[in-house]
Amino acid sequence: MKYLFLIGRNLLRRKTRTTLTFLSIVVTFLLFGVLMMLRVAFSGGVDMAGADRLMMTNKVSLIQPLLLSYYERINATPGVDYSTYSSWFGGIYQDPKNGVFEFAVEPETYLRMYPEFKLPPEQLKAWLADKQGVIVGEDLAKKFNWKIGDTIPIQGTFNRPRGGDGTTWQFKLSGIYTGDQKTDKTQFLLRHDYLTESRRGSNGEGLTGWYLIKVKDPAQSVAISHALDKQFENSEYETKTATEAAVAQGFANQVGNIGAIVTRIAAVVLFIILLIAASQMSLAVRERTNEIGAMKAIGYTDGHIMTLILAESVTLSALAGFMGLGLAWVFGKFFAPSGGFLPVFYFAPRDIALGAGLAIALGLIAGAMPASAAMRLKITDALRKV
Amino acid sequence: MRSIKQAITVTLVSLYTIPQRLSSAVVAVIGIMGVVVVFVAVLSIGEGFKKAMTNAGKTDRAIVMRSGADSEMSSGLSGDAVDIIKQMPGVKHDGVVPVGSGEMFVVLDINRRSSHTVSNVPLRGVDATALAVRYDAKIAQGRMFTYGTNEVVVGRAANGQFEGINVGDTLKTGTKEWKVVGMFDTGGTVAETEMWCDVRVLQGVYQRGNSYQSVLVRLESPSSFDTFKDKLGSDPRVDVQIKRESDYYAEQSTGLTSLIEGVGYAIALLMGIGAVFGAWLTMYSAVVSRTREIATLRALGFGSGPVLISVMGESVFLALIGGAIGATLAYVGFNGYQASTMNWQTFSQVAFGFAVTPELLTRGLIYAVLMGLVGGIFPAVRAARLPISKALREL
């Protein structure tokens, strides 16, 4: 404790240098935080996929449909708890760039499949009572300032309504779901039965985009997937079933290396900046060689000297690092650019912990070299130096 | 005049003495180099993507889709509509045959070479006039597919990114088989990520009857677009939207390009702040270590202006070195680097090469100079304001 004063005085000796080193570490860790959030965002919610959920798509590609009549057969397959189906609606809200992605779902089973989507019971009741109703995530509702009861016009592309002007669908907002930070709160969910009844033409009749299947025992996922695909082999609509996590990972791979490249390049540079900060901190100690000699001469032990120097550099880098991480957290919380492209954007606790560890490690590494040099320093040499 | 001479002399002195402060100078150089590498590399992703998309669009071609569709993926046209579209005025003719191709656009699951994971690779069904419409496409290896068969040709970029589609390979999707008989080249545009086959065969495979998704027509000249659009747009038999192909691809590229540019600028800005502190520190220690030297110069009659300029000059000089090394590294490391990503509008893959353009390099250097200026300003002011008597006394 009694050394705290000494550490503080040493840090404040050259205020400009300490401030600059401090600020550059703050910025580095802010950048670290932003990059980690970007990485999570680019991975497209792989983390939020449940291991006990399977996704069944057409074997040729996700854009090819499956028969709705598979529903009963899937549910009857041993090991399957329940299932639900969903289709890509492909509508546009005002401008394609708005990135509003609509899915047609079967309300009750879909919400049972995704318990992380929290919808107040009275809003669920309203949705079940109104075929024209839709629910949206709170992030999306906030973005366009939608209120419950609003009519939302969506321009159809390949799905076009029978009535009205023949291109624009009118949906009523029945509810707004919420969820924790890992949950994609940008979805726009309409009712599959409404789509089937109100769609013009016979395109897509008796078909659905894909199935989501809940298994009783996640350990059996692979076996159940095989059994399901086997059932529909050699039909016109062959299937491919995989865990939702695998599908999400596949998607992330498709968006591809871009996210990975961006983060990798920046990680290298982050490392460089850290080296620079470390070298600045070392410099600060080297300047004090004769002073350290004097301290040794009046009885400070080698251990004291080393502890003092390490404590100084760890204090500086930890304070600055935590501040940078804090700023990043604030950024993720309040200024997240979540939109169509990056639905989830948050600072994962795991990454915060990693950052905190890095900040302390930086201090130790930066302090280690000058500390060991100071420890080995002979009093006579140190005092001779000007 | 005298102060200019002084400024040059003092700046030269600071530059000559850099080797004495090498380690601290290297710190500033490396910091700025890192920022420039990232800045240029990230922006080159956006630039490359934009290039692949916009070079694909020609001004003398028009794409026709159902009204309301935002891409070929969500469009649909009947066989009758396709015939009507091809007969419109403004369409180029080859003899009596209109140069227009009714097309279908689907995606297949094919593994990526690098990760062996599934990707959405576009398969386009095209008409017999396809190569006349897409005059920029050349068969680079093998031959064009034979109409009426299950043969396909693959784009060069698709071949580079995805597995099992070399010339001679047989591609199995679901219960269907496709034979790869050739590879085409369009000069690195988005079309090169596609595979092409006979649209009528594809209609059969996907049970689409006589329906298409889009029509691509070659216009008599870029200026015949308006005639074509007016006539077709006012034809009551069809309900379509008409776009110049160049506009169509430009629109599709904006989403991803602006996302990448946003990310690129944000990262570069943050890192730039870090690098400015680095340069600041370097110049600050330079000024501190040269305190007596600067004071001596001042005592000899050198003005404070030249001293200020010399510190700024040194800072900018170091920044330029860092910027130049960074720009070179970015160019060597990333120019032409092949990657692919998802085009969300068509839900399919686009392969492209990173493009480090001279313009990006210039932007990187300008950014480096800016960082040097900002990093040097405070130490420079400090040096200029140094009280001579006190500084001379200092160790």
Residues from chain A contacting residue B263 (CB–CB below 8 Å): 38, 262
* pTM for this model (two decimals): 0.79
Average pLDDT over every residue of B42-58? 88
pLDDT value at residue A46:
57
- Rounded to whole angstroms, how far apart are CA atoms A43 and B100? 40
pLDDT value at residue B85:
95
Chain B: give the shortest CA distance to residue A263, in Å. 10
Q: What is chain B's length?
A: 395
Average pLDDT over every residue of B372-377? 92
- Categorize the per-residue pLDDT at A343 as very low, low, confident or very high, splitting at 50, 70 and 90: low
Is B60 a residue whose pLDDT tops 80? yes
B200 vs A268 pLDDT, higher one: B200
- The HSE-up count of residue A246 (CA atoms within 13 Å, CB side) is 15
Candidates B106, B115, B281: best to mutate against A (most CBs of A within 10 A) is B281
Is A339 a residue whose pLDDT tops 60? no
Tell me, yes or no, if A255 comes closer than 8 A to chain B by beta carbon.
Answer: yes
Taken in order A27, A29, A32, A37, the sign of the CA dihedral is negative
Chain B: give the shortest CA distance to residue A278, in Å. 10
Tell me, yes or no, if B31 comes closer than 8 A to chain A by beta carbon.
Answer: yes
- Categorize the per-residue pLDDT at A291 as very low, low, confident or very high, splitting at 50, 70 and 90: confident
A217, burial (CB in 10 Å: exposed 0-12, middle 13-18, buried 19+): exposed
- Categorize the per-residue pLDDT at B287 as very low, low, confident or very high, splitting at 50, 70 and 90: confident
What rounded mean pLDDT belongs to chain B? 89
Contact B273 A27 (CB under 8 A): yes
| Percent of chain B whose pLDDT exceeds 70 | 99
Average pLDDT over every residue of B277-303? 85
Q: What is the DSSP string of B22-78?
A: HHHHHHHHHHHHHHHHHHHHHHHHHHHHHHHHHHH--TTEEEEEETT-SSGGG--EE
pLDDT value at residue A220:
87
- Rounded to whole angstroms, how far apart are CA atoms B336 and B356? 8
Is B389 a residue whose pLDDT tops 90? no
Element (H, E) at A247: helix A244-255
pLDDT tens string A32-44: 888 888 777 776 5
Is B395 a residue whose pLDDT tops 60? no
Average pLDDT over every residue of A346-375? 86
Chain A: give the shortest CA distance to residue B134, in Å. 26
Average pLDDT over every residue of B20-33? 84
Look up residue A354 and give its amino acid: L
β-strands B214-218, B118-126 pairing: unpaired
Give the count of Cβ contacts less than 8 A between chain A and B: 163
Is B115 a residue whose pLDDT tops 80? no
Cα A208 to chain centroid distance, Å, stands at 29
Angle between helical axes of A349-376 and A257-286 (0-180°, round to 10): 30
Tell me, yes or no, if A222 comes closer than 8 A to chain B by beta carbon.
Answer: no
pLDDT tens string A212-268: 999 998 888 888 999 999 999 888 888 989 888 778 777 777 776 666 776 776 677
Residues from chain B contacting residue A199 (CB–CB below 8 Å): none
Candidates B270, B349, B385: best to mutate against A (most CBs of A within 10 A) is B270
Tell me, yes or no, if A151 comes closer than 8 A to chain B by beta carbon.
Answer: no
Tell me, yes or no, if B75 comes closer than 8 A to chain A by beta carbon.
Answer: yes
- Categorize the per-residue pLDDT at A183 as very low, low, confident or very high, splitting at 50, 70 and 90: confident
- Categorize the per-residue pLDDT at A127 as very low, low, confident or very high, splitting at 50, 70 and 90: very high
pLDDT value at residue A15:
84
A63 vs B395 pLDDT, higher one: A63
Chain A: give the shortest CA distance to residue B98, in Å. 27
- Rounded to whole angstroms, how far apart are CA atoms A18 and A316? 8
Q: What is the DSSP string of A358-372?
A: HHHHHHHHHHHHHHH
pLDDT value at residue A49:
59
- Please choose, from the candidates A76, A83, A44, A46, the residue with its C-alpha nearest in 3D space to the C-alpha of residue A241: A83
- Paired with B211 in beta bridges are B78
Residues from chain A contacting residue B254 (CB–CB below 8 Å): 97
Residues from chain B contacting residue A59 (CB–CB below 8 Å): 109, 173-174
- Rounded to whole angstroms, how far apart are CA atoms A324 and A334? 15
Q: If DSSP codes are grouped into helix, strand and coil, which group holds residue A131?
A: coil
Residue B138, phi then psi, degrees to nearest 5: -125, 140
pLDDT value at residue A336:
63
| Percent of chain A whose pLDDT exceeds 70 | 90
CB A84 within 8 A of CB A110: yes
Which of A74-83, A144-153, A324-333 shows the lowest mean pLDDT across its residues?
A324-333
Residue of A nearest to B253 (CA): A97
Q: Which residues contact B86 (CB under 8 A, 6 or more apart)?
A: B98, B100, B102, B215, B217
pLDDT value at residue A350:
87
Chain B: give the shortest CA distance to residue A150, in Å. 23
| Cα dihedral: B79, B84, B86, B90 (round 10) | -160
Q: What is the DSSP string of A176-237?
A: EEB--TTS----EEEEHHHHHHHBSSSTTTTEESEEEEEES-GGGHHHHHHHHHHHTTTSSS
Residues from chain A contacting residue B35 (CB–CB below 8 Å): 269
Angle between helical axes of B291-299 and B245-289 (0-180°, round to 10): 80
- The HSE-up count of residue B199 (CA atoms within 13 Å, CB side) is 23
Contact A258 B270 (CB under 8 A): no
- Rounded to whole angstroms, how far apart are CA atoms B256 and B348? 13
Average pLDDT over every residue of A76-100? 89
A238: nearest CB among B175, B266, B280: B175
- The HSE-up count of residue B313 (CA atoms within 13 Å, CB side) is 19
Chain A: give the shortest CA distance to residue B37, in Å. 8
B164 vs B176 pLDDT, higher one: B164
Residues from chain B contacting residue A240 (CB–CB below 8 Å): 109
Is A48 a residue whose pLDDT tops 60? no
Tell me, yes or no, if A265 comes closer than 8 A to chain B by beta carbon.
Answer: yes
